[in-house]
Amino acid sequence: MTPKQIMEHGLQIGEDCFAVATIVRTAGTTSAKPGAKALMRADGTILEGWLGGGCVRGAIKNATLRAYANGQPQFISVAPEEDLTEKGVRAGDDVDGVYFARNGCPSKGTIDIFIEPYLPMPDLLIFGASPVAEKLVELAPQFGWAVAIADADAAMPERTQGRRRYLVIATQGQGDLAALKTGLSGAVDYVAFVGSTKKFASLSEKLIAAGVAPPQIASVRAPAGLNIGAVTPAEIALSILAELTQAKRDTLAKVVQNV
């Protein structure tokens, strides 16, 4: 798939979820040959291209869903039962990075397919204009985050379908409560507060009085960031980015378990 073909389907590289599947090897009788490609939707259906008949589509769909879930390329080998047995593997086995699936069609061909996902960057909304907030705005894009400055006095921007959302409250004394109220008003995957445990405990009482649900308050990481002994704004931002990365990976791992 070329960038032009991708955009013809209304997909924007870096903004939308899609995957490109490529047949890299075949053996025996197969309808599709090496080099055949297809553009895949997030639900595993083919937007454009050709990868063969119904014998392989189920395996390709499942592999595409795994690719979207964990953000990693997939290599699958769809082969007849006897070939799998000869190799000492079974359908569903994942050996050395190759996921095996059974081809139950009479043609009994083998098709090896590489599936590469293109996932949108997760959204990182940052409240505040503190030195820590400024460092996060500077550093986060280098680690694959789509950064935006959030306004505590405005409604949360509409969440883009398929994109995860993470918040960091780095107001540091300038509108902490208002930022927390706004940040907790919508569905998010992660919320962190830059401040001490004691300070957040005091703010939590005010949030409860304002009607914010206790489970939402309990979900806030406070203080924000992994404990790396950070002192300077840059170091604190680094510790927060480390925790953000950990949270993102943990979320992906949970999704993969359900695929």
pLDDT in tens, 49-67: 988 878 788 899 999 888 8
Query: What DSSP character marks residue 142?
Result: G
**Sign, CA torsion 149/152/155/161:** positive
| Residue spans of beta strands (DSSP E) within 3-160 | 18-27, 37-40, 46-49, 74-79, 94-95, 98-102, 110-118, 123-127, 146-150
Confidence at residue 252, expressed as pLDDT on a 0 to 100 scale: 56
User: HSE-up of 35 (CA within 13 Å, CB side)?
Assistant: 1
The CA-atom distances, in angstroms, between 83 and each of 27, 78, 104 are 11, 10, 11
For residue 241, which of 175, 190, 197, 200 has the smallest C-alpha distance? Answer: 190
pLDDT digits (tens, 9 = 90+) for 182-233: 999 888 889 999 999 999 999 999 999 999 999 999 999 999 999 999 999 9
Give this prediction's pTM.
Answer: 0.63
**Cα(254)–Cα(85) distance, rounded to whole angstroms?**
31
126, burial (CB in 10 Å: exposed 0-12, middle 13-18, buried 19+) = buried
Neighbouring residues of 134: CB distance < 8 A, sequence distance ≥ 6? 233
Distance of CA 2 to the CA centre of its chain: 23
Which domains, and CATH codes, for the chain? 3-118 (no CATH), 123-257 (3.40.50.720)
Confidence at residue 2, expressed as pLDDT on a 0 to 100 scale: 53
**Cα(201)–Cα(206) distance, rounded to whole angstroms?**
9
**pLDDT averaged over every residue in the chain:** 87
Average pLDDT by consecutive 10-residue portion of the chain (259 residues)? 49 63 91 91 85 85 84 90 92 92 86 88 92 96 91 84 86 94 90 95 96 94 95 96 89 52
Neighbouring residues of 176: CB distance < 8 A, sequence distance ≥ 6? 169, 193, 195, 199, 203
